[in-house]
Structure 1
Amino acid sequence: MAVDAGVGIVLTSPKGDRLEYMIRLHFLATNNMAVYEALIHGLKIASELGARCLYIRDDSELVVDQVMKEASCRDEKMVTYYDEVQKLKEKFDGLELHHVLRRGNLATDFLAKLASNREHTPPRVFVNNAHELLIKLAKAPTPASDAAHAEPVAEPTVGTKMGTPDLKVAMLEPSWMMPFLDYLLQDTLPVNATEARCLARSAKIFVVIEEELHKRSPSGILHKCIPTDQGRELLLEIHADICSHHAAPRSLVGKAFRQGSY
């Protein structure tokens, strides 16, 4: 199990054009988890670029055998990763995954080492930061869920004197992402003609993946869109917490972008 690992992805077109990606993983990950992370990232990028058929080479024989249904998955994480890959396979007309020796996969291995060591990014290589797994694991039961099965409290009878409850009401502000999600998923625009034109024009740089909104940067990297409250927490963490990045607002927001959030 390693922290601050990295993966490399190389996409090659039939004409020989290459796109190279480095993704820095800021969480604990085994070698097989890192391989699955690279595979899923690569499938999503290829889908966004309009690829319909993929021939994938990887040096993890276990992951290749699992994806091609030649080996079973027993670990919960591996099963969840496998299910995610199967969902993404439906976006392509053809997809083959083949095992190669590490010496036959030197380009991606080189990028993965650069990403893992947090070294300088080579020219014409896209880099991104991943701060959480691409999969969602089932959560263990919590005390709150157990409380749902507790015996119901009897309601007071008529004439019973009741005190005034101490209520704390949280006012939720509407998410800035909802208009874009409504337009991209349901083709719904605001009633106001001016607002509708602005939204349709701005939505061209956004894309929905697995019902989550992402913004496409000029370099082609996808930034995961987050609600305003999470954005404030991220900026606060960068500014004064673990990163201790005391900088001007423009630099602070730019660092958040480079961490893969928008």
Structure 2
Amino acid sequence: MEREEQGKAFKLRRPVYYISEVLTPSKKRYPHYQKLVYGIYLTAKKVAHYFQEHSVIVISDAPLSENMNNRDAIGRVAKWDIELLPLDIKFESKKAIKSQALVDFLAEWMEQEQPVPRLPEHWTMFFDGSKMLHGSGAGVVLVSPKGGQLSYVLQIHFDSSNNEVEYEALLYGLRMAISLGTRRLMIYGDSDLVVNQVMKEWDIRSTAMIGYCNVVRKLEKHFEGLELHHVPRLKNQAADDLAKIGSTQKAVPKNVFLEHLHSPMIKEDPFVDEPPQPVGPSDTNEVDIPAVIDLVQEILVITSEWTEPYLAYLLMQELPEDEAEASQIVHRSKPFTVMGDQLYKKNTTGVAQRCISPKEGQ
């Protein structure tokens, strides 16, 4: 990019990089904020020489600094955070040039220091659902303690009642808050039924509502503090507008994330514990066979460790006779290494982790 600058006789040239990547199907399923963080991680890899030598300012309306500096982050976000930790990256929100110049002028000449407002320590969530003749939708707004806002539009592609749509919005918002590492959450909605059922003010008579309410109870365990309050529709206007966009399938505004729901979240919620599966024979006549049970236990005890084929290949270049199994061990042994007599595997951040047997992991 070439442009004139004050005090310079000639135009200055500055490099401008446009970096893009086509997301694979697995990366398309990332939560929206993770896609934003992945964009920073990808850029830091592509132009690493600039990130290593200079301070970098990332300008975005999303609360990226809270996502990147979240101590409760796990999985891929924690990995990206560790790799970006040595770099000097600062996050700033978008500012209008004219208004910012006026603010700077007032701050410079103001004689009396103004008290700094105290920021709340909790996140805030607004949710709403909308069911119309041609479709259903929901809207969720998450507000960070610093005022950053994340807006979501849900297009629901399965038959559902208006109350079920409201619960879908609530569950989706809770899932997003959990994935952001939120510990304290204040929730506001204009549905009398959902708020009073969750707060145990009203009895639940519908089987479907019981299922939704049970899922909410299980998601509550991921928070240190969670409150749900009913507000008039006028005070929930932002979420209501998003819900109508989802039900009418209109164009989604800029900086608003779109999600398609093809089945109820109570059937496939990753944060809900799976019910314990029955163990052992279902027929009571098969219980009185201790010899078979003892035999199974004895076979499990003498099963060889899973690390033995890898140790044999890495130390003595020995492989199983079966060609498919041998090829599999060669392919999977790349991240493994041997230290002493122990097998270690390097994770994505380069840390060597000792491989243990199932018995040691219990």
TM-score, with length taken from structure 2: 0.39
Residue type of the alignment partner of 1:69: K
2:162 & 2:253 partners in 1: Cα distance? Answer: 24
Please state if 1:48 is matched with 2:48: no
Deviations 1:215-261 (A, max 9, x none): xxxxxxxxxxxxxxxxxxxxxxxxxxxxxxxxxxxxxxxxxxxxxxx
More relative contact order, 1 or 2 (CA 8 Å, 6+ apart): 1
Q: Identify which of 16, 19, 28 aligns with 2:159.
A: 28
Residue type of the alignment partner of 1:50: G
Deviations 1:45-81 (A, max 9, x none): 0000011111100000111011011111110000000
Taking the TM superposition and a 5 Å limit, the aligned residue runs for 1:1-262 are 4-136=135-267, 192-194=333-335, 200=348
Which secondary structure does the structure 2 equivalent of 1:66 belong to? helix
Residue type of the alignment partner of 1:193: K
Which secondary structure does the structure 2 equivalent of 1:132 belong to? coil
Which secondary structure does the structure 1 equivalent of 2:238 belong to? helix
Residue type of the alignment partner of 2:262: H
> How far is 1:194 from its partner?
3.0
> How far is 1:200 from its partner?
4.3
1:13 & 1:19 partners in 2: Cα distance? Answer: 8
> How far is 1:191 from its partner?
5.6
2:348 & 2:206 partners in 1: Cα distance? Answer: 44
Which secondary structure does the structure 1 equivalent of 2:335 belong to? helix
Residue type of the alignment partner of 2:241: F
2:142 & 2:267 partners in 1: Cα distance? Answer: 26
2:148 & 2:137 partners in 1: Cα distance? Answer: 23
Which secondary structure does the structure 2 equivalent of 1:105 belong to? helix
> How far is 1:132 from its partner?
0.3
Cα RMSD of the aligned pairs, angstroms, is 2.4
Q: How many residues align?
A: 150
1:88 & 1:63 partners in 2: Cα distance? Answer: 15
> How far is 1:193 from its partner?
3.5
* Poorly superposed stretches of 4+, deviation over 2 Å: 1-4, 193-197
TM-score, with length taken from structure 1: 0.53
Residue type of the alignment partner of 2:234: R
Deviations 1:79-107 (A, max 9, x none): 00000000000000011000011111000
2:259 & 2:202 partners in 1: Cα distance? Answer: 31
2:219 & 2:333 partners in 1: Cα distance? Answer: 37
Identity between Structure 1 and Structure 2 (%)? 43
1:192 & 1:73 partners in 2: Cα distance? Answer: 54
Residue type of the alignment partner of 1:70: E
Q: Which structure's CA Rg is the greater one? A: 2
Deviations 1:165-205 (A, max 9, x none): xxxxxxxxxxxxxxxxxxxxxxxxx96233865x847xxxx
Structure 1 unmatched runs, 5+: 138-147, 150-189, 202-262
